[in-house]
Amino acid sequence: MCIIVREMQPSEKKAVGELFKRSLSIIDRVIFQLAFEDTQRRARKQNGGTLIAEYDRKIVGSASMRIQVVKSKRIGFIDALVTDREFRGRGIGRSLVDNAITWLEKRGCEVIYATADRYNSPSWNIFIHRGFYPYELPHQFREYGINFLRLWFEELYFIGFGTFFLRRSKDQGKPRETGELWHLLFALLGLSVVLWIQLLRSQGPLILIPAICVVVAFSILTHEFIQKLAARKLGLETTFKAWDSGILFSWFLALFGVFFPAYGSVYVRRLDWWYDPKKDRMGVVFALGPISSSILSLTFWVISTLATDNLLIESAKIGYTISLLIAILNIIPIQTAGGFTWDGKKILTWNKVVWILLVLATTALIVLDVIF
């Protein structure tokens, strides 16, 4: 099979849109289209371009490149990497990324960035096997200071919770990944701040702040520890990673009274581990997260019903809400390349019966609280 990779012509813009339509989910299509349109605007200023992969005069893949100057450094971005569903597994994505790297380096980019979901193995591993490495928030802040936000805006990273920045540079060695403890503390603080904002908005008693910290820690650690323990039983070493963009986005939503616990998830530690959604043993690990959160939510509900101390009652109600929402979000069957990477779609693909039982369990918890 002869695949030709070349720059897109302006007249082929509609054909690339058709590629998005037949190859991406609705959410991904919106996110990728935004990145693609931004690239076209930059192309007119010589700061962007789109590569296409062509087979038998049909566009079967595309990738967009953008260039930006941050702190006097010329940096490149690879985005909107798409392969036609019928042609996946034939090396088209690899060819597009290789050519995109060459395109950016020829134009003087010292550093190249991309974002990807660790469980989207085809995309993630393409970058990892080409010298990209995780570029986490502490690394970003150390290098760019507050200008790291420009990277986030460039990649629409604020709404890309569940994806991670990747970096490729010829001049610097790869930094060590930030430790799991840092990620856990950031997630605990991040979700606590969301609840503090909600408490201040409702003019609730400040005495609840310490209780919120305890309840948040217990809810998150229970959910993540159960998953980590199950993965270890399967012979897989895992690590928890905070979703920095999800945490900041949840702070923003909290200002308007919205509770959105997008704080992070457990991942297999090996960087180039390959996840197969239909065959992988991780399905049971994903399912145990919402199972444990549902049990914890029921426990908090019982405590709030039986307790007599007002502080304990209010704390238990917060615990019930947090754990229930964590369970609900992790059974919503939405997973996209551009973010929104909770476990629901993975559980549904692994075992539909387990997913249905989880839906029934969380529904029962809601009904229980409404009735009693």
* Alpha helix ranges (H) inside 45-179: 92-106, 121-128, 137-144, 148-154
- Same domain? 22 vs 160: yes
Asked whether residue 246 falls in the same domain as residue 311, the answer is yes
Residues 279 and 312 in one domain: yes
pLDDT by residue for the chain (372 residues), tens only, comes to 688 999 999 999 999 999 999 999 888 888 888 889 989 988 888 889 999 999 988 999 999 999 998 888 899 999 999 999 999 989 999 999 999 999 999 999 989 999 999 988 899 999 999 999 999 999 999 989 998 988 898 888 887 788 999 999 877 677 888 999 999 999 999 999 998 998 888 887 888 888 888 998 999 999 999 999 999 998 889 999 999 999 999 999 999 988 888 899 999 999 998 887 766 678 899 999 999 999 999 999 999 999 989 889 999 999 999 999 999 989 998 777 666 677 888 899 899 999 999 999 999 999 988 887
- Phi and psi (nearest 5°) for 327? -65, -45
Q: Are residues 99 and 198 in the same domain?
A: no
Two tokens, residue 117: 């979901």
| Boundary (domain end) residue, out of 122, 143, 169 | 169
How far is it, in rounded angstroms, from Cα 278 to Cα 256?
A: 39
Q: Do 112 and 258 fall within a single domain?
A: no
**CATH code (residue 129):** 3.40.630.30
Residues 161 and 274 in one domain: no
Question: What does the pLDDT read at residue 275?
Answer: 84
Residue 254 lies in a domain: yes
pLDDT for 5: 95
pLDDT in tens, 114-140: 999 998 889 999 999 999 999 999 999
Q: Which of 194, 320, 170 is nearest to 259 (CA)?
A: 194
Which pLDDT belongs to residue 365? 94
Domain hosting residue 266, numbered range: 180-371
Q: Are residues 94 and 114 in the same domain?
A: yes
Let me know whether 164 and 185 are in one domain.
Answer: no
What is the predicted pLDDT for the residue at 299?
Answer: 96
Collapsing DSSP to helix, strand or coil, 50 comes out as: strand
Same-domain check for residues 158 and 222: no
- Same-domain check for residues 270 and 157: no
Per-residue pLDDT, 172: 63
Q: Which of 117, 137, 169 is the last residue of a domain?
A: 169
The closest of 159, 92, 127, 119 to 349, measured between CA atoms, is 119
Give the chain's radius of gyration (CA, Å). 22
> Quick one: 117 and 209 in the same domain?
no
Q: Is 268 helix (H, G, I), strand (E, B) or coil?
A: strand
Query: Which DSSP helix (H) or strand (E) runs through 284?
Result: helix 282-306
β-strand pairing of 264-268 with 133-134: unpaired
Query: Which residue, of 140, 169, 198, is where some domain finishes?
Result: 169
Q: Is the distance from CB of 75 to CB of 109 less than 8 angstroms?
A: yes
pTM, two decimals, is 0.89
Tokens of 308: 């007599």
What's the confidence (pLDDT) of residue 22? 93
Alpha carbon distance 362, 172 (integer Å): 48
In the prediction, which pLDDT does 340 show? 64
Q: Do 115 and 254 belong together in one domain?
A: no
Domain count, the chain: 2
Place of tokens 């217990």: 218
Give the largest CA-CA distance in the chain.
73
Characterize 180-219 residue by residue with b for buried, 16 or more Cβ atoms within 10 angstroms of its Cβ, and e for exposed: beebbebbbbbbbbbbbbbbeeeebeeebeebbbebbbeb
